Each structure stands twice: as C-alpha cells, then as structure tokens.
C-alpha cells in the first residue's frame, strides 16, 4: 500500500471565512459593499464569522472537517482607505493567528492585506507569514476599481514569490458602475445574487486572474501559485477558449493554457458539485483540486442532488451532502479513485499550503 492510500482520511477546508468586530464596523461605515450589509453582517452569519472557537469546531465536527484554513471574508480590507485598512488588517491577522495557536491541529490561516497601501500590504504579508505562521494570503480582484495586475500592486506579488506562499483570489462584488450597467433591472435580491454569487463575482475573480497572466505576473514569478475557489471561477472551465489570447500576447513566455494548468489550483468554495469537480480535474489534473466548504456561507442542505449547492447568500439552494458528515461525504463519494479522494480531501492542501500532516501511529 502506498503512502497516499495508507494515510488516514482527512478533510481540510481551504475556503473558510471569519472576521473581526473592528472590520465589520469599518466595512459597514465605509465599505459600500452590499454583500456586507445584506449577507455577512446579519444574524447567524455574523455570529459565525466572529467565532473562531468552540462553535466553529462543533460545526466542523458535524460536517467531518478536520481542519479549516481561516480567511477574512470578502471584501477584506480592500474597500477601506490605507489609514483605516492597515491597522485593521494587522489586528485581523493577529486574531486568526491566535486561533491557530489555540487549535494548531484544527486551524491554519491566510493573511488579509491592506491593498490600498501596497507597500504596507507587502510588509504585512511578510509579518503574517514569517512572524505569525500564516500559510498564504487571500486577495480580492479589485482595490477600488483597480485590478490586481496594476503595477502598483507588484510589491505584494514579489513578497509572495519570495516567501514561497500561494495567493488565494476570492471573488468580491463588482464596482458600482459595472453593477448598474450589467446586473441591474431586476428586484433587489435577484440583482444582488446576479452580481455576486450567482454570476458576477465569479467572473470578476476569473478575469482578475487572467489579467495577472496577461500582465506577465507569472513570467516574473514563474513558481507563484494562485488558488481559485468555485472550481476555477469560470477561468478553469473556459481554459481552452482563454488560450486564444496566447496569439495576441507574444510577450508571454508560455501559452495562457500553460499558466492555467501550471500555476493555478482550485477549491470547491462551497460548491458541492461532483460534475464541476470532474471538469476541474479534467483541466488541471488530480493534484490541483482541494476541498473548501465556504463556511459559514456554503453549508449544504439535505435536499436536491450533487449538482446543486448553497453558495454565499444562496436562496432555495440544495446539496446532496448535508447533515452530519456533509463535507466528508462529498469527498468520500467523489468520482475519483481512492488516491484522488485523498488528494482532494487533504493531500493537495497539505502540499500546496505546506500544512503539517498529523502524526499517525
């Protein structure tokens, strides 16, 4: 029996969200983001975002999740001015680090960065990784209306490459002008979901990543790894078509498809879909797929089938793997061989994020 199949099954959730009271207050006051006002800051979701202790551990146990990689929820500190964002990001990273110290076998963490001050963001990434033990950072597609490929953000990518850690690009709400142009004309909830979890912010994350490729980011940092949720944020399923851009980008050292298959990894991001998992494996191979529950947003219910899910703020959504052991059931029933299920459940996360493997007898 080889090492992969001999290892006891674990499930690691790689997209699992939290925030702090200070960040919540700042986003409600200055953020201007409807996902904060209408999804994250209300009732049970807010309470679960604030908890990085016993209640979260109980929910993990019920779903069969052994470890969560904690991350500050969208939109992080990116809508905030540098004066506000820098201290709040630092405090949030300290909070996550404290949770990891208290439960090192259950939690790891991504840093959140004050991207409105790129030099401060790079310094905070260095502190979070070397001083606090964070295993990477989570970014959002834009700061204000500026995408991540802008030259001003290069210090952050240089720091990540130097540190050898991955960057998780998580969706965030499109700018107001785009929302009005492309996602308006419906009732409030339909428009909100169309611009966010139903379509728009997946397009934002995929486009942000494609722009990084076209801007030469992965030529400057060929070993840098980028993680996308939701099985590739539209970019991975559309990889063959995106490769058309290779003919218009002679400055690139590789084809667009080669960056996608060589520098990207994906997580479920709360999409409990075996069909989408299979499509991601078809493009990226079994070594670049990871589980993620999108806690506390993405817990599935017991109705429906495996091609449905509850995403962030989802309404009338369904999943086949709800109830006790939901996450583990999704991994256990994945259309992969045993080694592939172990890679999905924990081995890929352990390798890509350099997570410690548990000591077994």
Cβ pair 98, 128 in contact under 8 A = no
64-75 b/e (C-beta count within 10 Å ≥ 16 → b): bbbbbbbbbbbb
Tally the residues of the chain: 361
Cβ pair 348, 4 in contact under 8 A = no
Cβ pair 211, 203 in contact under 8 A = no
> CB within 8 A of 24, min separation 6: which ones?
36, 40, 41, 46, 49, 50
Active site residue 294: yes
Distances in Å between the Cα of 256 and the Cα atoms of 161, 191, 214 are 20, 32, 8
Q: If DSSP codes are grouped into helix, strand and coil, which group holds residue 299?
A: coil
- Rounded to the nearest 5 degrees, what angle is found at the Cα of 69, between the Cα atoms of 66 and 72? 140
- Give counts: helices (H), strands (E), the chain: 18, 11
Cβ pair 286, 347 in contact under 8 A = no
Distances in Å between the Cα of 314 and the Cα atoms of 89, 114, 200, 243, 267 are 28, 28, 14, 32, 18
Smallest CA-to-CA distance from 160 within 246, 245, 224 is with 224
Q: What one-character-per-residue DSSP string does 34-94 give?
A: HHIIIIISSHHHHHHHH--SHHHHHHHHHHT--EEEEEEPTTTTTTS-HHHHHHHHHHHHH
**What stretches of the chain adopt beta strand conformation (E)?**
12-18, 67-72, 107-109, 111-112, 137-139, 142-143, 146-147, 167-169, 226-228, 264-267, 289-290
Catalytic residue from among 33, 117, 294, 342:
294
Please list the active-site residues: 294
């Amino acid at each position: 029996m080889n090492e992969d199949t001999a290892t006891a099954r674990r499930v690691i959730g790689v997209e699992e969200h939290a925030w702090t009271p200070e960040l919540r207050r700042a986003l409600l006051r200055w953020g201007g983001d409807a996902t904060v006002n209408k999804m994250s800051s209300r009732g049970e979701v807010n309470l679960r975002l604030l908890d990085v202790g016993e209640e979260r551990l109980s929910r993990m146990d019920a779903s069969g999740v052994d470890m969560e990689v904690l991350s500050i929820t969208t939109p992080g500190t990116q809508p905030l001015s540098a004066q506000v964002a820098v201290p709040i990001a630092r405090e949030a990273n300290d909070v996550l680090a404290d949770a990891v110290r208290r439960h090192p076998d259950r939690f790891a963490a991504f840093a959140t960065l004050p991207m409105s001050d790129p030099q401060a963001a790079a310094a905070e990434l260095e502190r979070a990784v070397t001083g606090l033990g964070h295993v990477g950072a989570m970014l959002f597609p834009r700061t204000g209306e500026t995408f991540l490929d802008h030259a001003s953000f290069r210090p952050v990518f240089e720091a990540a490459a130097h540190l050898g850690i991955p960057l998780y690009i998580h969706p965030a709400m499109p700018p107001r002008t785009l929302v009005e142009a492309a996602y308006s004309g419906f009732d409030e909830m339909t428009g909100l979901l169309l611009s966010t979890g139903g379509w728009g912010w997946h397009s934002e994350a995929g486009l942000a990543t494609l722009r990084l490729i076209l801007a030469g980011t992965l030529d400057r940092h060929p070993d840098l790894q980028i993680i996308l949720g939701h099985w590739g944020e539209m970019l991975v399923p559309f990889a063959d078509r995106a490769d058309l851009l290779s003919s218009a980008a002679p400055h690139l050292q590789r084809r667009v498809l080669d960056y996608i298959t060589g520098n990207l990894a994906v997580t479920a991001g709360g999409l409990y879909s075996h069909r989408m998992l299979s499509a991601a494996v078809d493009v990226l191979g079994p070594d670049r797929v990871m589980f993620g529950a999108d806690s506390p947003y993405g817990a599935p219910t017991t109705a429906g089938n495996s091609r449905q899910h509850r995403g962030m703020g989802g309404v009338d959504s369904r999943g086949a793997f709800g109830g006790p052991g939901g996450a583990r059931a999704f991994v256990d029933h994945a259309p992969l061989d045993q080694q592939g299920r172990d890679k999905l459940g924990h081995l890929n996360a352990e390798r890509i994020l350099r997570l410690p493997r548990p000591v077994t007898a």
